[in-house]
Structure 1
Amino acid sequence: MKIKEIRAAQIALTPPQKTTPRPSQHPNHSLHRPLDRYDRFRTDRTGTPPWHRIACVVTAEDGTWGLGLTVHSPPVLPIINDHFASLLVGENCMATEKLWDVMVRSTAPFGGQGLASYAISAVDTALWDLKGKLLQKPVYELLGGPQKDKIFCYASGFEQEWYMELGFKATKLFTPWGAADGLDGLKKIEELVATTRQLIGDDIELCLDCWLSQDVEHLVRLAEMLRPYRLKWIEDYLPADDWLGYAQVRQRLPWQTLASGEHWYLPRSFAQALDGRFVDILQPDVLWVGGITAGVKICHLAEAAGVSVIAHAGMNYPYGQHLSFAMPAIVWGERSESVSPPGVPLHEMVLLPGTPAIQDGYLVPSDAPGFGIEVDLPWLEGVAI
């Protein structure tokens, strides 16, 4: 079966929320970004580009189509529509390994990582959805079948009271302060972590996301200060390409479980991290890293090295759900993007119809063909912008 058409467009997804949320317990907390070292960007948040999600539809010659997603619409769309489409139309739509390799090699001259990796992710996830539909199998069956009965999930954000009410047994905080905030920032982070640990008790796992905003010295001091609070891990603490910094942190914090990977792209970056034993947990995002094909390769690398994988935001969409269900290396699943406002059920925050919602801290993916996404082409046209 050959590919007839590849087309991508920017979309706006909104959840079908009906319940009025309760007031937030932490309205003034937000994730600290690298750009927030400058007061102007910390207050007006203009450093975040107003780019939208991308929906990519790959259509086979019999009319069957698959849907993939990614983000960063303005710079990524031309890579898909002007470049990948011309390369892949007419190829065998079942040949996901070959098609992925063609996309990777064709973008190598202008940077296969970063924005090109997002474009690869959109096309690759659409191809896997299409393959599942053509074979009438859920994608996790095509990846080897379910490896676990259900996926243990954790919630990321600042509304820990609500997450516990929803049944989560693990949660992750974001740091609202970075290295530029110095000792005062360290003290504030410690206070936040201490308060959260007291709130959730000792039987809930607690993690910390620093989102590229620390440096080596600041991170080491922070980890030492937070040692009494028994963090499950600290993640994403340095700029993604600071390999020397990762090596230094690993050497200076041999006792601390470290995680990273959401801003690493394509499997080679993860192979480099594994070679240096920089982290204990890899965190690829299937919609950024190069799709399902890249995710499988990363999981196999990790399993061979004895390192765990937890897909970044993997429970937000069915793509990460299916990968997590099938791969032995993936031990947990993350629900992020604000999870849900206090008082709003998780099923009302599903952005893509057909995506199963977490129940009591666990999730089982859809067993419908492909990724089980329940949308049609008119629906996609309705959310296009």
Structure 2
Amino acid sequence: MFFLAATPFELNQSGFVYLIKAIALGGIIVYATLIRDARASTFSPLIAIAFLLFLVTNLTAWSDRVAIALPLILFGAVLGQVRGTKWDRDFYSVVFLFIAVHVAALIFATLLYYTTSTVLDIHGLVFPEASRAMAIGDIGRLSGFHTEPGTYSQWTLAALLLLALIRGVLSTQWHAVVIGSVLMTLSLWGVLASGLFALAFLVEAVLVRDLSSKSRRLLIVASFALIGIGLSYLISPEIRQAAIDFLSLKASFSTQSGLDKLRAAHFLSENYTKALLLGLPIDPGFCPTCISPQDSGLALTGSFYLGFAFSGFLAAVIAVRLGTLWNWGFVFAILPLFVWKAHVYEPLLWIIVGYILAGPSRACTDPTRYAGRARRPRSRIAGHAQ
């Protein structure tokens, strides 16, 4: 069920996609509370405010989209705030397996392409619509179970952040492998976000109090950098140059996504005052002339729908909680979510927000190893060593 809730896919009727996601989220919550004895002991008032703001601003422009978006926000946040001894371990395993399946699929598709020149649409084997995986010159842009390479990068790194929050640790060998898979997609968003994650790794390594842990984490950061440099020289010069040219093109504003960003900036300059305190309805929504308004990133679209004042306050609270309850490396790791090309009612987003506002679970490793605010040590997750 988590695979359906956290993996983007498309149907002819897009509303059914999010209805399926809402049902999947509800099923997970029922399983966690009834079968695994989990509870949402404290429900953050900030979640309630976000829900009410979204509800109030859309009352005058009610639609099926709003009716589906509201339970997605609520269910996602509730799932993020659910805690329980059994469920904490289950949730870590579920997210770990979710990422592992996606990474394995992408690596398989990539190896297949560079050995046989075959573009395998793994997404199309599972979901009704085909993905946008393709070959561009000498390079293959594969997406695994996702609809497109950029989607793989964004949702996989968001899931990785959730996994790190559950465990309480950013810099592990497995996390470095996941980030390496993101680089294989040749997504410009993924390349930039991977750089921020690498910086987050480094910050966490510096903050570790225990010298042996510090050395191990610094070694992970150094190994990650060396592997990236080594791979860039192992591939042929033609593929390397093609990749550089493609990323340069994506960095310009000549692509459809780039043009949408220009339209979005123009739209925002003319309408931001309308959403300073209260957000605006989801229909017609942010930048109606944009082909993909969500490409502008959650920082803009989310603030437009929830109000810039509340969104700024929520972002500040999240940053402070990450720095004090986890470690300040997590603040760098969450920055890519501000430019995540997702809808404001994306379930995975609200799972992450809910999780941060609820605080670390018993699955979190001992936080007293980090410089800063010390808390009572929590138990490790059995079977998942760093």
Give the TM-score of the pair, scaled to structure 1: 0.27
- The structure richer in helix per residue is 2
- The structure richer in strand per residue is 1
